[in-house]
Structure 1
Amino acid sequence: MLSVSWRDRLLRAIDTAAPLLILRGPSGFGKSGLLREWVASLDESHHVVWVSFGPDPVPAGEFWIEAIAAAQQAGILPAHNANAMSNAAAAGLLDLQSLAARLTAGRNCVLAIDGYQATRPDHEVLDEQLVELAVSHPRLRIAVTTRSSTQFTSDRALLSGVITEISPAQLAYTLEETRLAVGGDEAAERLHAETGGYPLAVQAASALAGRPWPAATTKEVRHRMVAVSLETELWKLTDPAFVALTCLPPFFDSTLAESITALTVEEVGQVLDDLEWHGFGQSHVLPDGSRTFAYVETLRQSIRQRTLAELGEASLQRVGAPTVTWLRSHDPASAFTLALELELYDEAAAAYGWLLATDPGLCTGEDLHDVLSAIPPEVSVAQPVLAFARGIALISDPSLAEAAPAFLSRAAAPATRELPERMTEAELVELSMATIALRLLKRYPEAGRAAHHAVTLMRTAPDDARSGNSVLTLMLLRQLLFTLAQAGDFDAVQATIAWAMSVTSGAQARSDLMVGMVALDAISGRVAQARELAKRNPARPPELDQDDTPFLMELRSSGHVTLDIESFDFVSARAAVKEIPTALAGELRPFHDWILMHAALAGGNGRAEATRILEETKLLCRPAEHAQSWADAVLINVLAIGLLSGGDHTLVRELFALPTPFPGQVAPATLLALVLTGDSRTALERLPELREAEGHTLRSLTALKTVAAAAALREQDREQAEVLLRNLDHAYHQHGLQLPLLYLPAHDLDGLIEEGRRLGLVSWTAFHGKTIPSPRFVTSRVARLTEREQAVAEALLTHTNRHQIAKALFVSENTIKTQMRSIYRKLGVTNRREAIDRIVELRLVPGVESRSPS
């Protein structure tokens, strides 16, 4: 039997306590149970007002509103008085003395407050108010349970006898009480040593009396014992079948409970009231008025294991299917794992769609990989979404990533078939997964076509179907929009976002869409539009950002940091990039590096930063079958500019040799390479071709024309320079761009600004006198070496004189002398030693990383 002396000792302490009683201790110390038992023992001369709080913070006004509501429910306050007092509390105008007088009118009153730790935001104010009420109203007793060690710590109140505190040490079982509870000196001493007299553990051990002591860690023992203790009391209260059927999910609502049990909604509500009152779980009322309930987790896990072991397969599936369906819109991760556990693979596939749409970050990790690895191979083949799930789990683990493509290829299959004109929600989820799989496999053109089809299906769906699936549709749109962007289809991106905003009414959904709009507008060059959207949807502090998905957080941060560098705030941008979380497969990493490259260009170390990024990303070492994404092309352009700023033309040539479906993105660097080698005329000749290249955005076109304008001024072609400057004036002024100014040497930039000013152009006039970072470019112009000069340059590194070079190249020494004179002129040097240093510095000879012997 349970120790009577433990309860008697504490109940006597409560009986003789001061007007304000504090039961202080962590969960499991029996505070709530003791307070309930003491309240139940009071005679009819006492009113009881019981107020209970959950984990959510409760400000002072809300605290008193809850207390007033409890007093009304107890029949102490009439409705009209309660309403008036609640309104006053909400406005911060409640007369507490008047409230206390009404509570104690004609009888003693106990104000019992369970879970007082929830009042942390205003606990100092409430502490003082409760102490004042306890002092000023002798017929009012206040009893509080709290887990906090910082509430009611006023020495004055404690010393004056207003407060009695029962601490964790007092709530714990003594060794003698433990002996009485479990019987046997040895078992009691071991239990007491392991638990320190932890009340729930001692009570659980009493329930297990006579059974073998479990061999496990202290924590496991305690949790198991607590669960058994709770179960023992639980079966006295309610039907075991109700708990067995509702313990599968981590929480549930009354509608789900009604559908899987034989009870009505009213009966379910009564059961949940009883369960909560007796401490077996906690209810939460949602904004729409519905109620969810969560069992104490140790209790739920204990009963759940028994349910899974004892309930037949048919019964499990009958209960599991509606449970997973309900749970997937509330907690997709739990719905997914539960469906796999119950081998409900269709439901698992549907839940995974919600999981990926709501939070790609939840789709990775060891726990999920372990669950997925248990799926039979034939199921993965038959269920593309589950194959996708396995692929995502594998790709997130570097040690397993090589196995991911096989599963992602299966997942991509639905997008490679002939696509129908209409789809069910499940088919649309499957197609969306397939587009992401193609994207992760770097099959961007196919991914773009599939994403375009999926978006078209969403846009043309009947209004009733679209409204029913709007939450899932909008969540999947995040991934589909990014797929379209990676495929370079910005027309489709803009059109889709405009459509989505027109059909979306929810504030949060619109906010999430604007996150994507800010990021994609900023990166693609519509900076002014991105800034306007950012004002309506500002960056949030980190503690609020935790509510976002990792993908959304990364997208949000990338957009706002891009706006920072467009304002030339490179210090903040560099620091912010380090704090940006990395979501699914690190796909936004190229944008992070793109931001860092601009900061490096502004700081004059573009070449070093570009070299570092190339080494880390292995961009030049990727297999041929790995196609470039639009983000890769965006990054390659600025990497090339960084290398050009340091005169490294060899690595630039390697970057330009990479096959890309987006040559427009690399066009600015292509033109700049010609300009920096003194070939401005060729640059201007190539301008029409580069302007029409595939994959351009507003940003790349603006950068291309900026470099071309500099080339025109170098060639003294003022007419073409004026045409370009006037065109650029519109882009810089209307769209708020500035970054392309970093792509020019200082003397070229000064020339453009001066010419634009002379022409009276708004943006160029505004740039005059403005502090614009001036990247350091290699100052001397390096014209291209001819094929024969290139051969001589290579021979210079391995031969000691002209005679040896002439002999190696089968030409006369006079020919070598003439070619070396041309090389010296192009390199801006005057002797052989300087020429060798310059050839090595500029990497004009492939494969040379350090000076060769002279």
Structure 2
Amino acid sequence: MTGSTPVLLPRPRLLDRLGTNESRVVVLSAPSGSGKTSLVRSWVDQQESLQVVWVTLDTDHVGRTNLWQAVVTNAGRLGVLPTADAADLVADLERATDLPALVATALASRPRLVLVLDAYERLRDATAAVDDDVQRLVRAHPDLTVVITTRTTTGLAHPGRTLRGDVELLTATDLAFTEEETAALLATHGAPGTTRHAADLHRATGGFPLAVRAGMISLARASDGVPDWPSLVADDLRGQLTDAATRAFVLATSVPPYFDVELAIELTGSPEAKAVIAELEWNGLGRWIPFAPGRQVFQYVESLRTAMRADVEQLPAGRRARLALQTVGWLHRNGNFEAAFEVAVDARQYDIAGRVYAALVASNPDTITTGRFDRQLASVPRRALTQYPALALGRGLACHRNPALHGAAVEFFRIPAAWTTPRSPDMTPGEILTCHTAKAASLRILGRFDEAGRAAHQALAYFATIPDGEQLHVTDLGATTLRHLAYSLFQDGQIDAARATTMQAITLSTHAESLNHTAVYAVGFNALDGRTAEARAALDHIDPGAWRPGQTETYPNALGRIGRAALLVDDFDLAASISEYDGCAFATASEFWPFVTWTLMHAHLGLGQATTEAHRVEAALARTPAPPGMADSLGSAAVRGTLAILWLAAGNRTKAGPLLRLRTRYPGQLAPAVLLSRLLAGEATEVVAALPDVETLAGHTGRSTAAVLALGAAAALRVDRPDTAIALLDRMVALVGPGGARLHLMYLPGEDLAALRALAADRNNTALIDYLAAPVPHVVTAVAAPPALTAQERTVIAAFARHPTRAATAAALHISENTVKTHLRRIYRKLGVNSRDAVIQKAIELDLLGPPRAP
């Protein structure tokens, strides 16, 4: 390892504890400025026979997977692993469930290996999980030592482990200079004559290394050799800088989380940057940390950087912008997009931040589905969001992921929804594509589905103009973009365009995980359209091993779950269809709600639960705000059309009526319910006559068209037109395929389905016989509706349901018991029941317990 400088003071008592003990895990737990990293660095520099992987965590809330990815990445940079192997491991870790086992296997052939995890406290919530990983790692790799530096405590240093000797713990007390070490430090590196102050210096500083070194500087400057120790210890860390030039140097270079000599020169304009850095290190104000083979970067102690960043805020705006731009550019060139984004936001350079966020999405399309940058996005003021749509998109998505903040998300999505043209002439194709996608997605989430469809076409038109060479740079971003555009098209009823766009996205998915994310769109779209063969083929393209742990129950797999649920209903495996959503949060709180609900409604219909399910969905639609995705769209119309089917199956045509008259841009989704209503009313001739117009309504899917053809065939057979019926059935099977979608057969009254089966057998039509032979539940009856009840009879039923006896009912209504008995006799006859329980159950099914209608 290169780039080190001589240690200020040899500390054998501590170096021995790092290198000669039997513990496989060493933890240095002490405040910033205690010399933890410097001590480990000096020890590592003396270990010529060891291979060292050094990882410094330079941002807060580092995730568990991100940590181990950094370990293998740095192992590649430092030559411990081949670069290609390290790159493959980074991808494998995204999907792995046993992270330490994977890392141990990769490092198994590397003997006498040391892993240094510096600034371990930055793990925050992931600390406990990584503690367990470290223990498993050292058990799996018998020749590995893990050294951890942290400002906080860690479960690894639990007294039980330290007492057993499993973990060696060095605390602030251990790291503090003794009085003898303080004297030795002054004698070796202090100004002449300062050794006599060793006891006072040690007493005032408690041996805290950073304060001791600052005290040495103060002693050298003190004219009388007797500094004001309390003031020294309490003084701001800025006072430890030697002169104005050094302070200006630290001010500029505190903007990045770390830097090399090249960036230091760029930020400060100082050709002496290397010497200044050496002096800063000598004074304990920072340290060199490994970055790549033969290359290190310098990092200030956190307390100093924090103090100086406060001063950066006082610089002129132009100066701050230049420093941020230079820092972001350097971080971007070195692949640290996350830190680049954080620096840009902290510096309030929102133009830069907007472009970096687009670069983040381009480098990792899944950024938009995680909360990794929510904290930074939340700090961007609203006035800036209106200027930079990429940031507004990110902020809107952050709110949208939290059901409690859906309302707040609206104002953020309105910003990209209004986007028209690139704000800057030098925006990259990826950035412009992100803006187009933000517009289409935002319009969709806002419920403006027709506008979202048009915006999707505009985005696709722009994508087609990107030269092939440029498209290579936006491959996975392109796949992410096209998925969002495809869903916008699908919800606008542009089914074929949505399917074509999804297929294009599949060709751009260069990684297995990205391919999974795209293939599920093909599963969902095809299944919802009734193309079951294509849906099952798309399922075969999904690699179960490419999902991250738990991801199959989350938003990225929503359309995969929806597609499988629809296919299970087609097989009339109704309980399995419902259980497809077990544990899936998106089922109740995402924009996929309409299609989740559509599948659940059909499953419950088949289970004979039409009334209960209709009440559940009706209640959900009545809530404020309405469920997501329920503005006028294909999915919204499908839900309301199926709700009408449920009410008709329950025998409640009154409830179905308003749904059948719904004004929508997608009337094709209501067509099956409209025809079923007329069929149940005995209007078979009218159904057959209406078929040509009904088939051409806007908003049809293959499923809704197939349902119309099936109902039309039943009507044709009722009016003794068997040739028309068989022709309509042949068209239906040709549309969906011999083994295709068939859940719509539940819409047929049992008598009609039996008649169609008999017709197929009489014509010896094998394809129809097989198709109609499915185990279709009989959930719709063709019997006439019960006679209408009077308003007084409905009042009696409602009271009867609330009171245990006829006498109690009579008293509540202020009428005689004989009058109640007379009303009940008529009610029993009309409803076809003969008991109290039966009349109440029938009243619930027919929704007769609400306020009475006028006679």
What residue identity is the alignment partner of 2:382? I
Which SS does the other structure have where 1:577 is aligned? coil
Match for 2:700: what amino acid? H
Question: CA shift at 1:51, angstroms?
Answer: 2.2
What is the alpha-carbon distance in structure 2 between the residues aligned to residue 735 and residue 261 of structure 1?
72
The equivalent residue for 1:662 is 666
* Bigger mean CA deviation after superposition, 492-501 or 49-58: 49-58
Alpha-carbon contact 1:687-1:708 (below 8 Å) kept:
yes
Instruction: Supply the distance in 2 between the matched residues of 1:19 and 1:380 (Cα, whole angstroms).
Output: 55
Query: 1:532 is matched by which residue type in structure 2?
Result: A
**Structure 1 residue 462: Cα displacement:** 3.1
- Say whether 1:690 aligns with 2:694: yes
Find out whether 1:124 has 2:125 as its counterpart. Answer: no
Q: Which runs of 5+ in 1 are unaligned?
A: 73-88, 101-109, 131-141, 215-223, 801-819
1:634 to 610, 635, 638: 638
Conserved? CA contact 2:35–2:209, under 8 Å: yes
Corresponding residue SS for 2:418? helix
Tell me if 1:371 matches 2:391.
no
Contact 2:746 2:777 in 1 (8 A): yes
CA distance in 1, matches of 2:670, 2:410: 29
Is 1:782 the counterpart of 2:784? The answer is: yes
Report the Cα distance in structure 1 between the residues aligned to 2:386 and 2:157, rounded to whole angstroms.
58
The corresponding residue for 2:26 is: 23
Aligned length: 732
Normalising by structure 2, report the TM-score.
0.66
Q: Which secondary structure does the structure 1 equivalent of 2:528 belong to?
A: helix
1:210 is matched with 230
1:327–1:559 CA distance, 2 compared to 1 (3 A) = farther
Where in structure 2 are there 5+ consecutive unaligned residues? 1-7, 56-63, 83-101, 118-129, 183-196, 219-228, 798-822
CA distance in 1, matches of 2:302, 2:588: 32
Seq. identity, %? 24
- Output the CA distance in 1 between the equivalents of 2:414 and 2:474: 27
CA distance, structure 1, for counterparts of residue 445 and residue 407 of structure 2: 13
Q: How many Å separate the matches in 1 of 2:830 and 2:734?
A: 38
Structure 2 residue matching 1:762: 3-state secondary structure: helix
Counterpart Cα distance in 1 of 2:379 and 2:686? 60
2:49 aligned counterpart, secondary structure = strand
Partner of 1:309: 313
Residue of structure 1 equivalent to 2:532 = 527
Q: Retained in 2: the 8 A contact 1:539–1:557?
A: no
Distance 2:107 2:407 in 1: 66
1:441 is aligned to: 446
- The equivalent of 1:491 in structure 2 is 496
Judge which range, 310-319 or 482-491, deviates more.
Answer: 310-319
Work out the CA distance in 1 between the residues paired with 2:698 and 2:308: 58
For residue 85 of structure 1, what is the aligned residue in structure 2? none
1:726 maps to a residue whose letter is D
- Equivalent residue, structure 2, for 1:139: none
In 1, Cα distance between equivalents of 2:494 and 2:669: 13
TM-superposed deviation, 1:425:
5.8
Q: Is the 8 A contact 2:499 2:525 kept in 1?
A: no
Out of 605, 609, 618, the position equivalent to 1:614 is 618
Counterpart residue identity of residue 477, structure 1:
L
Cα deviation for residue 486 of structure 1 reads 1.6
Alignment-derived partner of residue 803 in structure 1: none
Q: SS at 1:167's partner residue?
A: strand
Q: How far apart are the structure 1 equivalents of 2:372 and 2:77?
A: 44
8 Å Cα contact 2:417/2:442 also seen in 1: yes
Match of 1:708 in 2: 712
- SS of 1:210's partner is helix
Q: Structure 1: how far apart are the matches of 2:493 and 2:329?
A: 36
Corresponding position of 2:168:
167
Letter paired with 1:603 = L
Q: Tell me the CA shift for residue 531 of structure 1.
A: 1.7
Question: Which residue of the partner structure matches residue 319 of structure 1?
Answer: 323
1:92-122 CA-to-partner distances (Å, cap 9, x unmatched) read 99999xx98xxxxxxxxx8655459876666
**Counterparts in 2 of 1:324-723, with a 5 A limit?**
324=328, 338-351=343-356, 353=358, 358-361=366-369, 367=375, 370-372=378-380, 374-376=381-383, 408-409=413-414, 411-414=416-419, 428-502=433-507, 509-539=514-544, 543-544=548-549, 551-582=555-586, 586-618=590-622, 627-723=631-727
State the Cα deviation string for residues 378-405 of structure 1 (Å, max 9, x = none). x565555566666666767778766766
Give CA deviations for 1:744-799 in whole Å, capped at 9, x if unaligned: 4555445545544553433742663x6x362644x4623598xxxx7x85576479
1:281–1:293 Cα contact (<8 Å) kept: yes
Structure 1: distance between partners of 2:644 and 2:252 = 62
Shift of 1:571: 3.9
CA distance in structure 2 between the partners assigned to 1:10 and 1:780 by the alignment: 89
Relative distance call for 1:841 and 1:298 in structure 2 (3 A) is same
Task: Please give the root-mean-square deviation of Cα atoms over the aligned residues, in Å.
Answer: 6.3
Aligned counterparts, 1:39-438, within 5 A: 48-52=49-53, 54=55, 114=116, 123-127=138-142, 167-168=168-169, 171=171, 173=173, 210=230, 248=255, 298=302, 302=306, 305-306=309-310, 308-309=312-313, 311-321=315-325, 323-324=327-328, 338-351=343-356, 353=358, 358-361=366-369, 367=375, 370-372=378-380, 374-376=381-383, 408-409=413-414, 411-414=416-419, 428-438=433-443
**Native 8 Å contact 2:36 2:175 kept in 1:** no
Q: Structure 2 counterpart of 1:641, which letter? A: I
Distance 1:585 1:14, change over 3 A: closer
Q: 2 CA distance for matches of 1:731 and 1:438?
A: 32
2: CA distance, partners of 1:717 / 1:826: 36
| Superposition deviation, residue 210 in structure 1 | 3.4
Query: CA 1:11/1:284 → structure 2, altered by over 3 Å: closer, same or farther?
Result: closer
Deviation at 1:695, TM superposition (A): 0.8
Q: Distance in 2 between matches of 1:844 and 1:30?
A: 76
Match of 2:733 in 1: 729
Name the amino acid aligned to 1:126: H
Whole-angstrom CA distance in 2 between matches of 1:550 and 1:294: 41
* Alignment partner, residue 745 of structure 2: 741
